[in-house]
Amino acid sequence: MAPKAELREFLKSRRDRLRPEDVGLPSGGQRRVPGLRREELAMLAGVSVDYYVRLEQGRDLTPSESVLDALARALRLDDTERAHLFALARPPRIPLATPDAATEVRPSVQMLIDGLDQPAFVMGRRMDILATNRMARALLTDFDARPPRERNHARWIFLDPATRELYVDWPVVARDNVAILRHDVAQHPDDPQLRELIGELSMASPEFRTWWAEHDVATRNSGTKRYRHPVVGEMTIHFEAMRLADVDQLLFIYAVEPGTPSHDAMRLLAT
């Protein structure tokens, strides 16, 4: 989907989720749309109805920063959604890195994660898994043993049935993957491999198609996940994502709270 079309769909999806009473407007009367009308949003943002209609229709407009700020406030976007709106309205033209720069992990980074006694891995663009340590392979799956094309977190989540057993909250994890890919599309609109991945998952997974159409966006940062490991049982694991100096590479480190059953399970997994 072209950036202008992405912008159109994103604006509409955010407008549809707002109810009139959410923004102090009367909700009475018969309404034909699930959320705010275009006229109502234009009023809240302080722009003309004609301008907003043309913007949502994906016409060749370049809205100013002040207009985008006003729309973000009117739509009640969070920081990630606001950044996504700006990226769609002003598509970045970040040149694709050379294959080596994008997919090769420095030996020092590999030594770092190999020296950790908790799961750690490096994720690249498109959620490709670029490097793992022994504990990550034991907890998740042996990405290193998979063909290069299959070393992708989103592809693994949606196409490997084992993940539905591994993750206690699989729908939450899967939706997060969709939202991260949606964010990446705005950052790298000219990446053909990313478009190919989205097309493949859309064809193969009804859940992916449904959630992709919702236009939710997310970034990788930190959080908590619950696992149902086939060997050591249930674990609650916290993770942090740190951006490396290398192009499009994030280091993920997992940890468990000391003195908990999850800590005992992680120690058992390490053996």
Do strands 129-132 and 250-255 pair parallel, antiparallel, or not at all (unpaired)? unpaired
Tokens for 266, please give them: 């992680």
d(CA 246, CA 106): 8
Going by C-alpha positions, the residue among 209, 207, 178, 170 that lies closest to residue 194 is: 178
Q: Which CATH class is domain 3-89?
A: mainly alpha
Over residues 35-55, the mean pLDDT reads 88
φ/ψ (deg, to 5) at 105: -95, 135
Cβ atoms within 10 Å, residue 94: 13
So what's the pLDDT on residue 29?
63
* Torsion sign over Cα 118, 225, 228, 148: negative
CATH of region 99-270, choose from 3.30.450.180, 3.40.50.720, 3.40.50.12780, 1.10.3720.10:
3.30.450.180
Is residue 188 very low, low, confident or very high in pLDDT (cuts 50, 70, 90)? confident
d(CA 186, CA 215): 11
d(CA 211, CA 110): 34
d(CA 195, CA 185): 8
So what's the pLDDT on residue 100?
44
CATH 1.10.260.40 domain locations along the chain: 3-89
Question: What is the Cα 60 distance to its own chain's centre?
Answer: 27
Can you tell me whether residue 242 is helix, strand or coil? strand
CATH 3.30.450.180 domain locations along the chain: 99-270
* Torsion sign over Cα 87, 89, 92, 93: positive
For 118-156, how does the pLDDT look when each residue is reduced to its tens digit (9 = 90+)? Answer: 999 999 999 999 999 999 999 999 999 999 999 999 999
Question: In this structure, what DSSP letter does residue 118 have?
Answer: S
Is residue 4 very low, low, confident or very high in pLDDT (cuts 50, 70, 90)? confident
For 70-114, how does the pLDDT look when each residue is reduced to its tens digit (9 = 90+)? Answer: 999 999 999 999 989 988 887 766 555 544 446 789 999 999 999
So what's the pLDDT on residue 219?
84
